[in-house]
Amino acid sequence: MSVPDFDRAASVKRNCPSAAERLVFDASLSLHPLANIQCGIVFIHAFWAGQSILTLRKLGESLARVDTEHRVDLIVCDIDEIQQLRDWQTRYYGGDITGGGGDALWIANGNIRARHNASRQCDFDATIRSLMLECHA
């Protein structure tokens, strides 16, 4: 008996039901380079970490509550698939390495405007509102 492959896209949507209809899973971010994102949140998901799952749920709930018109994209990627992750961390964060607790990057017009991780907590509702103002001014 063989074990079927783990369906990461289905897992992400199941663990983020409040934003599942707007969520896009792009494991390596190859289809959604940061420079091309006009108004979105990139969630760097660690499938093996319970904290990442909890953070994804909270982010989805906040997005559903604050952005009822679906103006902000939610792109979820797999921390183990992102080839350029170390380059980002060096360029934007001075080598601050993602720990797998569920990082979120708020992107406006191709630029990172805010970040959430275990050491940089933020108020999701307020940060989403600020992103919406910046993207859609």
Domain-by-domain residue ranges, the chain? 8-135
Per DSSP, the residues of 1-42 read -PPPPP-HHHHHHHH-GGGTTTEEE-TTSSSS-GGG-SEEEE
- 45 forms beta bridges with 78
Q: Residue 80: how many CB atoms within 10 A of its CB?
A: 14
- pLDDT band, very low/low/confident/very high, at 129 (cuts 50, 70, 90): very high
pLDDT digits (tens, 9 = 90+) for 70-91: 999 999 999 888 876 666 666 6
The pLDDT, as a whole number, for residue 2 is 44
The pLDDT, as a whole number, for residue 54 is 92
Q: At what angle do helices 50-66 and 8-15 cross, to 10 degrees?
A: 60
The pLDDT, as a whole number, for residue 116 is 84
Token look-up 């979105």 returns 40
Best CATH choice for the domain 8-135 from the list 3.40.50.300, 3.40.30.10, 3.40.1080.20, 3.40.640.10: 3.40.30.10
Position 1 pLDDT exceeds 50: no
Average pLDDT, the chain: 85
